[in-house]
Amino acid sequence: MAVQAPSTIDDAGVERLVVLHFDFIWRFLLRLGVGEADAEDLAQQVFLVLNAHRDAATSGTVRAYLVGVARRIASTYRRSQRRRRDVVADDTPDQTDVSPSPEELADRGRAAVVLDRILETRMTEAEREVFVLFEIEELSMSEIAGALAIPSGTVASRLRRARTQFQAALSAWRLEPREVAS
């Protein structure tokens, strides 16, 4: 459930928001391609920005605000680092590799690597953001629209394309049907 920001955020409020949302922001950064070694630092940066701009975070939902800051920081990070996640380079199976079995995917680490591979190679940055926020973090479409500053229709179309890509990746492994859920 989204936390509605109070009219002003005091120190205790900022701390409460860190406790409430730190894991969420950390996960979001990871799924946007931030390396695990850097995700904690960048998550801290997100909350430092929140702290420095308390007034800016008092309309709408704080979670949407944090998402907006996090995606910007992640984008800057990726450009500046000019590198992809280690797992993509080292551990991720090529698409022609033997498909992972459901049993293998029961291993969270392995599943995360496979999922990140799909996010990295199959989706645009914009599609990836929407997919992660809707399918993994379970934000509502309207909240995503607010966080990304795009119309709801755009959220829906990006989500459709992202789902198509996700299903296509699964189909490439001949494990799943090609139909895209609507």
- Which residues within the stretch 71-110 sit at the binding site for another protein (CB under 8 A)? 71-73, 76-77, 79-81, 100, 102, 105-106, 108
Among positions 118-177, residues that touch another protein (CB under 8 A) are 118, 134-138, 140-142, 146-152, 156, 159, 163, 166-167, 170, 173, 175-177
d(CA 134, CA 141): 7
**Residue 91 CB, nearest distance to another protein (Å)?**
15
**Residue 53 CB, nearest distance to another protein (Å)?**
6
Among positions 47-66, residues that touch another protein (CB under 8 A) are 47-49, 51-53, 56-57, 59-61, 64-65
**Residue 7 CB, nearest distance to another protein (Å)?**
14
Residue closer to another protein (CB basis): 61 or 89 = 61
**Residue 72 CB, nearest distance to another protein (Å)?**
5
Residue tagged 């492994």 (tokens):
173
Residue of 58, 70, 55 whose CA lies nearest to 22: 70
What 3-state DSSP class applies to 61?
strand
Contact 33, 125 (CB under 8 A): no
**Residue 56 CB, nearest distance to another protein (Å)?**
6
Residue of 162, 122, 47 whose CA lies nearest to 182: 162
Of the residues 7, 8, 96, 182, which one makes contact with another protein according to CB under 8 A: 182
Q: How big is the chain, counted in residues?
A: 182
Residue closer to another protein (CB basis): 82 or 90 = 82
How many residues sit in the footprint of another protein (CB under 8 A)? 80
Among positions 6-25, residues that touch another protein (CB under 8 A) are 11, 14-15, 18-19, 22-23
d(CA 167, CA 100): 15
Q: At what angle do helices 62-81 and 11-31 cross, to 10 degrees?
A: 50
Q: At what angle do helices 11-31 and 36-52 cross, to 10 degrees?
A: 140
